[in-house]
Chain A
Amino acid sequence: MFFISLPSSAIDVEEITLDWTYEFDHGYITTAPVISDDTIFVRSSGFWSDDARPKVVALNHDGEVKWEYTNNNSVQHDMSPLIDVQAGEGECGSWDSMLIVPWANGEITAHNTSNGDVLWTNQSYVQNWGVTGQAVIQNDLLVAPTRNGLSVLCLADGHTIEEFELGLGWRNGVAVDENGYWIGDENGTLWHVENGTKESFHVDEGLIRHAPILTSGGVLIHVQTDAKSNVFFFNTSSKSISLLNESGPSPGIPKLIGDFVVTTDSSYVRIFNCSGDCKQIDSMPSHSNGEIGVDRIGRIWLPQNVMEGGLLILTLNSSGHIEYSSPFNTTLDGYSTAAPVFGDSIHEILVMGNDFGILQFYSSEVFEAGEDSDYRYHDLLIGISFFAFIFLCGHFIVHGSEIWALRLFFTSILISILLLSPEIILLLEDSKPEAFQPTSNIEQWSSDWPSDWQDTQVVIIELPNGEIVDGGYTGYDNVYSLTRAMAEQNDIDIEIEEFHFGTFIVSFSGVEGNGWEFKINGTLGTISADQTTMPDSGILRWMLAS
């Protein structure tokens, strides 16, 4: 409490202004632009006809085109993210700052960032298409996902140092750690290459279309299947694969943020705590199928791939729960999959593109506080109250007024614990002895329920006109997120009321009564829904309070 962390700066969404736009003649922007010093790089993707071809454009912060590069030989669809490389040197040579552009025709080109000149070109394997996934820099090497595996290139001149033939891929980026390379393929296989040795692990009957997410305990994979998707965790120690969650169709590209992994698809955004084995801790409805952006103060920006477009901004609290969410809309919204990027010059800037092929450049004054930083004021208030208490207590004691010192002491304590109550409640709930956890299933299993609901999370809502029951849920770690997911699936409107010590459900389908209470396996919940742990399998029952 005595060390108050001041907020770092970021774009102020309330005071943002559109400075300029750049529109591609053809195609769309499906991968994030790159900001490098005073230059913004962006590429186009899409279907090509006639003379239209994909290109990369470099612009300054005033929106003036510095250079353009058109690849007349490329094919659909150029989605591989651009890579900005700073000058450096290594075992295979030295290089100046450059922009790496992997292409769908299998080419990987390196460009002078000042004028766009091609510094080197590497051609990889093509089978209908070439490179579509995310490449990674590893010291003086470029590790690129090719159509049929991996290529390791020298950054200095682009020559191929090593190649590995793995599975066929599409938008399957590569991840690199001290243990080697990780990549998925279109057969749902996870590949690991270490010291030239290949290993493969079949995850699921589906498509792995993102760079595997490397966490402290293993690898998180979001597999695309026919009508939905599955989130898996591969434990690198035990080499076991576990299903974390079923989710919506068309998964996006997951992102690791600290200990948390964010996954997206056409139905939900999910937050996983991957400090050990990954476990879902929160979710909310969202329709995002592409990249995920993170700004300079950790807010998550999800481009919404719907006609109305726009972005969904999330703020996570320290335990990874979604603390705040809000839409971000502009007059140029439309289908979007490219993540926004953030930078600063004189002002804070935000650059983003959409499926109309329009690049937008926004700026604002430095963002110091806003609606989503109440928690910073919260900590600030606690710190101030304690400093004030120490000062004034000392003053009163020195002047012989012990009663006033005591009044100040107890009032400060009371204010402080009121402000800290959400954290304390969470701490108590997390520390709850095992013996106090609701384990005995006093709730009766109904023979009318489907057998595949066994060992899953089942939700019952007792409405005046009858019960609504749904089950088969997995991975929801608190009552509120499970209830919200069930309500979303069953078109039940929920009204909530948020207090600093928790979120409470006020009504289901407009029915308020005297309030709502819940039981988990027959045990009455005693704190707010978002702070009550939901066991991996169990029966959650909502009923009107008497």
Chain B
Amino acid sequence: MFSAIGTHGPVLSPLADLMLDILFVSFAFVLFSMSKPSKMQSLMFGAFVLVIVASRILFQPLPNVQPVTLAVLLMGAHQGAQRGVSFAVLVTLLSNVFIGDGWWTIFQALGWSAVALLGATFVSKTNEMLDFKSLLILSAVSAVLFDVITTFSLVDSSTTPIDFLSLLYSGLMYDFFHVIGNMSFVVWFGHTMQQFLLPLPEITEDVQMVEDVYVVRG
């Protein structure tokens, strides 16, 4: 499966690369479908994925300024962990087709998935706009969380804990970019993104509506 061990980890053969991509995409779709979305919700979800993929490509020249992080955080906060993780994986895979794919893709997907879980876990799942200050703080924490997880893509068998800390130290500048970038996105687009995500009913409401229909019919 691995043709060589490269600098950034195992070098995947083309077939293995394809299989891994299929696996991840399948996982994302399965996860999303488990949340039982309506057609409208699926369409809006897909549109949001495309918009965020495009924005990530657009902001690529700015080092580590990632609009994806805020989008994933809000998706997890307003739509739950399943849709959040699904969103994170799909955005990562699709945008890396244009930006560059490799071993690090796995860690980016894991990093953003963790951000989605952070949003789902620590933010109140109410149908309300999130507290602005909390969002600012969470966006900063998300940046650091994502960067630490993606640093693991540079770890190999010879990496010591000191080496890992050295890698983290070397990335401090880019972590700072990510934090400030996220906070900038919050103040500029946070409100708009939340308004877009809020109308999508949450999972519990979907289930309740279905139950209500059956009760009425019954």
Chain A residues with CB under 8 Å of chain B are: 403, 406-407, 410-411, 413-414, 417-418, 421, 424-425, 428, 432-433, 435-436, 438, 442, 501, 514, 517, 519, 522-524, 526-527, 543, 545-546
Asked whether A410 lies within 8 Å of B8 as measured between CB atoms, the reply is: no
Chain B 83-111: CB-based contact to A (< 8 A → 1; otherwise 0): 00000000000000000101100000000
Asked whether B180 lies within 8 Å of A417 as measured between CB atoms, the reply is: yes
- Whether A414 touches B180, Cβ cut-off 8 Å, given contacts A421-B63, A425-B173, A527-B170, is yes
Q: Tally inter-chain residue pairs, CB-CB below 8 A.
A: 72
Q: Which residue of A lies closest to B183 (CB)?
A: A410
Identify 6 new A-B residue pairs, CB closer than 8 A, beyond the known A417-B177, A436-B169: A418-B62, A418-B63, A418-B177, A421-B177, A436-B165, A526-B170
Asked whether B187 lies within 8 Å of A545 as measured between CB atoms, the reply is: no
State the CA gap A413–B170 with chains docked (Å): 21
Task: Summarize B's interface: helix, strand, loop or mixed.
Answer: helix
Asked whether A442 lies within 8 Å of B158 as measured between CB atoms, the reply is: yes
Asked whether B187 lies within 8 Å of A403 as measured between CB atoms, the reply is: yes
5 closest cross-chain pairs (CB), A and B: A546-B6, A526-B170, A436-B166, A410-B184, A546-B11
Q: Which residues of A contact B47 (CB under 8 A)?
A: none
Q: Which residues of A contact B11 (CB under 8 A)?
A: 546
Question: What interface size band does chain B fall in?
Answer: 20 to 34
Asked whether B162 lies within 8 Å of A435 as measured between CB atoms, the reply is: yes
Chain A proximity of B191: nearest CB distance (Å): 8
State the CA gap A366–B50 with chains docked (Å): 53
Asked whether B162 lies within 8 Å of A436 as measured between CB atoms, the reply is: yes
State the CA gap A254–B51 with chains docked (Å): 58
Q: Which residues of B contact A527 (CB under 8 A)?
A: 170
User: CB within 8 A of B187: which of A407, A417, A514?
Assistant: A407
Chain B 171-185: CB-based contact to A (< 8 A → 1; otherwise 0): 111001100110110
Q: List 24 A-B contacts (CB under 8 A).
A: A410-B180, A410-B184, A410-B187, A417-B176, A424-B173, A425-B173, A428-B169, A432-B166, A432-B169, A436-B165, A438-B166, A442-B158, A501-B63, A523-B166, A524-B154, A524-B167, A526-B170, A543-B7, A545-B6, A546-B6, A546-B7, A546-B8, A546-B9, A546-B102
Q: Which residues of A contact B154 (CB under 8 A)?
A: 524, 526
Q: Which residues of B contact A414 (CB under 8 A)?
A: 65, 177, 180-181, 184
Q: Which residue of B lies closest to A432 (CB)?
A: B169
Asked whether B8 lies within 8 Å of A545 as measured between CB atoms, the reply is: yes
**In chain B between 25 and 73, which residues have their CB closer than 8 angstroms to a CB of chain A?**
62-63, 65
Asked whether B181 lies within 8 Å of A428 as measured between CB atoms, the reply is: no
Q: Which residue of B lies closest to A499 (CB)?
A: B63
State the CA gap A442–B171 with chains docked (Å): 22
Q: Which residues of B contact A403 (CB under 8 A)?
A: 187
Q: Which residues of A contact B180 (CB under 8 A)?
A: 410, 413-414, 417
In the assembled complex, B4 has its CB within 8 A of some CB on chain A: yes
Chain B proximity of A505: nearest CB distance (Å): 14
- Whether A428 touches B172, Cβ cut-off 8 Å, given contacts A414-B181, A546-B4, A546-B7, is yes
In the assembled complex, B214 has its CB within 8 A of some CB on chain A: no
Q: Which residue of B lies closest to A442 (CB)?
A: B158
Chain A proximity of B66: nearest CB distance (Å): 12
Q: Which residue of A lies closest to B62 (CB)?
A: A418
Q: Which residues of B contact A438 (CB under 8 A)?
A: 166
- Which interface residue of A411, A414, A433, A519 has the most chain B CB atoms within 10 A? A414
Chain B proximity of A392: nearest CB distance (Å): 14
Q: Which residues of B contact A410 (CB under 8 A)?
A: 180, 183-184, 187
